Structure 1
């Protein structure tokens, strides 16, 4: 049994981890790695099979509201499904959803009525989540990164509709989104948080994997010993 699993059982055998961070920071890769170590279920954000996303990048004013409702619905269903398993890792949290809705509203892609409708639905879903068993996650892992690294990774993964070449408006969108995430994580207080600078680690390198596991284990152990209020912890190397 790995040290990670030993620590997991010491902490009571029930662990919920959320990943958060801007596009291109590596949330899915981290989530897959952690779920393997935890021997748990992983729950993915609906991106590759999202029927609206490519159209949104072409015409955000037309598709912003349908896209937000689609994401809100799929993320809520993912959380509800995840509650049926004792351990799980989610590659994106519902808590981030408002970032994108606010950005679309501020950019003029959503009307006031659409934005108000979205927020009302989000509040309803949040209230339902609060009623569920194990409503609060043990830990949200926030992957921080500079914008240049994010853009490089977006280019590397090669989704055509995400590329900024010949699309200055999309580059401006990414810059604004990057700033929104910086503001969001400073104010976030729904769960304990561990901030990891993703540029500093190669998730495919064994030594860095051990370092990442050590960070997560240490923080979970600390939170378990405190059994107190949500905390914000930056990584230490």
Structure 2
């Protein structure tokens, strides 16, 4: 096998892409001269040659092991930098273990080489996109009337979904919080709240993967309600993370390119957005009352920040116009009043009526 290495400044600063060639590799030099989008397009070619993606993020290096297709192999992480855990090395083949050790030995105490779990999660997302894009000759696939339920922590999104889960013909999907709290024994949600600057990139990588899975799940029902969306992740949480400094420039760029690729290759659209609008003070009190351990120390200022970015996106259409009409409901009201609102707006939420402009 031949190793080809090049320096590419258009996507990340700095970024080096190393491709392991099996006698069938496209002219990498030609790809490098193209746009940053073209580089990512190359990564998404159906079953490209095995590759390492090496980036320097927050002063550290990361590499993806070539993936033979096994989920266990893709999740392997070498613990050679404080705080990152070895997720699943026990499932590695002997050859992969040797390669893992070789890569780890390339580092030094002053410049450790780290296998980022985020990189593995991104690779899983890439594989999912490639698989879905190849499954149909058409770019877009048929889907049910899809509604994204948006709102701050404690605004009543889960309650909304429980209410409509009893309606015939409706498929509901709550946020996979349990998955975020237990990824191979790791509580990513808890880590995010403890140290957002350190864990935001990893957490958002996994969130995008889990949201993509929900968007792509098939249903025989005509209506699909989902708790938050990939669009929410892109235009609320990635924007707020970048503006606050929790996501560094290169991390933000990677996640944005990841989203752009999903949007261009797959049908991740929504037909309606229900915005459960609330004041930060009300939802902060509700959050403390429900007693999730990860949220115990979340300050009111964080709720104000989430509220601000929801308002920017769904009310002021910044930084991007919402992808669907927005139905705004006053979520400060009590549960009985909210149920009456649900009934009043049921025909719109079910797609039987269009939202007045």
- TM bucket (normalised to shorter chain) is 0.7 to 0.9
Query: Does the aligned pair in 1 maintain the 2:188–2:203 contact within 8 Å?
Result: yes
Change (3 A) 1:66 1:84: farther
CA distance in 1, matches of 2:331, 2:168: 20
Q: What is aligned with 1:53?
A: 189
Is 1:103 the counterpart of 2:240? The answer is yes
- Per-residue Cα deviation, 1:93-126 (whole angstroms, up to 9, x for no partner): 1111021112122222121111100100011111
Structure 1 SS opposite 2:345: helix
Relative to the length of structure 2, the TM-score reads 0.52
Summarize the alignment of residues 180-195 of structure 1 with structure 2, pairs less than 5 Å apart: 180-186=309-315, 187=317, 188-195=321-328
Bigger radius of gyration among the two: 2
Query: Does the aligned pair in 1 maintain the 2:331–2:338 contact within 8 Å?
Result: no
CA distance in 1, matches of 2:356, 2:279: 20
Structure 1 SS opposite 2:328: strand
What stretches of structure 2 of length at least 5 have no aligned partner?
Answer: 1-143, 181-186
Is 1:43 the counterpart of 2:179? The answer is no
Q: What is aligned with 2:146?
A: 16
Q: What is aligned with 1:172?
A: 301
CA distance in 1, matches of 2:175, 2:303: 19
Relative to the length of structure 1, the TM-score reads 0.77
- Per-residue Cα deviation, 1:157-210 (whole angstroms, up to 9, x for no partner): 11122123xx6xx432222121111111121431122110012241xx3x7524
Q: What is aligned with 1:86?
A: 222
Is 1:27 the counterpart of 2:163? The answer is no
Change (3 A) 1:208 1:61: closer
CA distance in 2, matches of 1:181, 1:120: 21
What stretches of structure 1 of length at least 5 have no aligned partner?
Answer: 1-13, 224-230
Higher share in helix: 1
CA distance in 2, matches of 1:59, 1:208: 35
CA distance in 2, matches of 1:27, 1:232: 23
RMSD: 2.2
How far the C-alpha of 1:222 sits from its partner, in A, is: 3.5
Q: What is aligned with 1:217?
A: 347
Structure 2 SS opposite 1:49: helix
Q: What is aligned with 2:330?
A: 197
Q: What is aligned with 1:115?
A: 252
Query: Does the aligned pair in 1 maintain the 2:146–2:272 contact within 8 Å?
Result: yes
CA distance in 2, matches of 1:144, 1:18: 14
Is 1:157 the counterpart of 2:290? The answer is yes
CA distance in 2, matches of 1:173, 1:28: 20
Query: Number of aligned pairs?
Result: 202
Query: Does the aligned pair in 2 maintain the 1:193–1:232 contact within 8 Å?
Result: no
